[in-house]
Amino acid sequence: MIRLTSVFLIAILLVSCGTRSQNKDLIDEDKLSFIEADVKSEETNFKTKAVYNEAMPGSTEKIERAFENAPPMIPHTTNGFFPIKKDNNICMTCHLPGIAETVGAVPLSKTHFTNLRPKMVEVNGILQFIDEGEVLVEQLDTINHSYYNCSQCHAPQAEVSINIENLFTPEFREEFGLEKSSLQERLKEGI
């Protein structure tokens, strides 16, 4: 009886899988993008490829921020910068405060020297989060190692042409918001 039930269940499974693969209503994964190209093929010739800025650091103009307190975009080449590691970060050679003023680079924001972790209390020898979700804002003497990987927020720019309209309209509370962040002063407000 158990064998007959097992054979019957396997037959139902095979029939349902076979029927599903023949379903004409499924969308082909190659039709899920904005381009009609086989993105898995090395032979695909995209009509437009991203052309990244090859200008050397210090020879470019700053890029206005996309929205209030947005991380600044990288206006220069990043060739040879990656991979960024905690103990090997070429970005710090120019963007650490003190060095940045000397070389004319944008210094790291004060937020990069701030610990923004949830406040915790010790209960019976175990650290636990406080229910209110209060954030501990602690100024550090060195960079917060949560920020060592610059490319998790800052991105190099590329010239691309796509036929997708961008309807986003940024709003800034202060006039200087296009060039400078006020996040350090507004940490308790949220982003």
Residue 191 scores a pLDDT above 50: no
Q: What is the pLDDT of residues 135-153, one digit of tens each?
A: 778 899 999 888 889 999 9
Task: Output the CA–CA distances (angstroms, integers) from residue 63 to 46, 69, 100, 155, 164, in the order listed.
Answer: 27, 13, 17, 11, 21
Residue 119: closest CA among 108, 132, 106: 132
Residue 53 scores a pLDDT above 70: yes
The torsion angles phi and psi of 106, rounded to 5 degrees, stand at -80, 120
The DSSP result for 5-60, as a single string, is HHHHHHHHHHHHHHHHHT-TTSPPGGGSSSS-S-TT-TT---SS--EE--PPTTSS
Query: pLDDT grade, residue 66 (50/70/90)?
Result: confident
Residue 112 scores a pLDDT above 70: yes
N- to C-terminal Cα distance for the chain? 64
Residue 94 scores a pLDDT above 90: yes
Which residues face 74 on adjacent strands? 156
Q: What is the pLDDT of residues 1-40, one digit of tens each?
A: 677 676 676 777 776 665 555 556 676 766 666 666 666 7
pLDDT of residue 19: 52
pLDDT of residue 99: 94
Q: What is the pLDDT of residues 149-188, one digit of tens each?
A: 999 999 988 877 766 777 888 888 877 777 778 887 777 7
Sorted by where each starts, the structural domains of the chain and their CATH numbers stand as 46-114+143-189 (1.10.1130.10)
DSSP letter assigned to residue 134: P
pLDDT of residue 174: 79
